Amino acid sequence: MSDHGPGVRIPPPALVAGALIAAWGLHRVVPVPLGPPLPELGLLVVFAALALIGMAVLVMMKAGNDPRPDKPDTALVEAGPYRFSRNPIYLGFLVAAVGFALRWGDLWGWLAVIASHLMLDRLVVAKEEAYLATRFGPAYEGYRRRVRRWL
């Protein structure tokens, strides 16, 4: 039997991008302001998110894993940002979505953050966790007990 990975069908960046594109479109057509747009802060948050994503991807690749969630893992990664979050790449996607919500100052951006979290949590993380539990057994269960899913 060959290892086909966790079986994630839709790439996680596409899920988040889809939610953000829908939010941006709604923001342009039917704005629902929640406060003033904070473009500078939003941009800073997006850059921080990109740094987290980049660091997590580098640590994963250094361990010999392909960061795409449809590929099998060769090692359980517990270094770098994985010491604080079991899902630092997806956490980075959510932080980036927060950056866009701050830039827009609109309800739609915050709804995109919530939708992105729900989609990542249910369609991606749940499958990955089941896969990692099967693939790495007790080592993953120990990691799961020590490190929180998000933060």
The predicted pLDDT at position 66 comes to 94
Taking only the tens place, the pLDDT of each residue in 48-84 is 999 999 999 999 999 999 999 989 999 999 999 999 9
Mean of the per-residue pLDDT values for the chain? Answer: 96
| Contact by Cβ (8 Å): 6, 127 | yes
Model confidence, pTM: 0.95
The predicted pLDDT at position 5 comes to 86
The predicted pLDDT at position 2 comes to 57
Question: Taking 90 as the threshold, does the pLDDT of residue 3 lie above it?
Answer: no
From CA 49, how far away is CA 61, in angstroms rounded? 18
Question: Taking 90 as the threshold, does the pLDDT of residue 4 lie above it?
Answer: no
| Contact by Cβ (8 Å): 101, 112 | yes
Taking only the tens place, the pLDDT of each residue in 99-142 is 999 999 999 999 999 999 999 999 999 999 999 999 999 999 99
Question: Taking 70 as the threshold, does the pLDDT of residue 1 lie above it?
Answer: no
Taking only the tens place, the pLDDT of each residue in 11-53 is 999 999 999 999 999 999 999 999 999 999 999 999 999 999 9
Each domain of the chain, given as residue ranges in start order, spans 12-65+75-146
Dihedral sign, Cα of residue 65, residue 87, residue 6, residue 119: negative
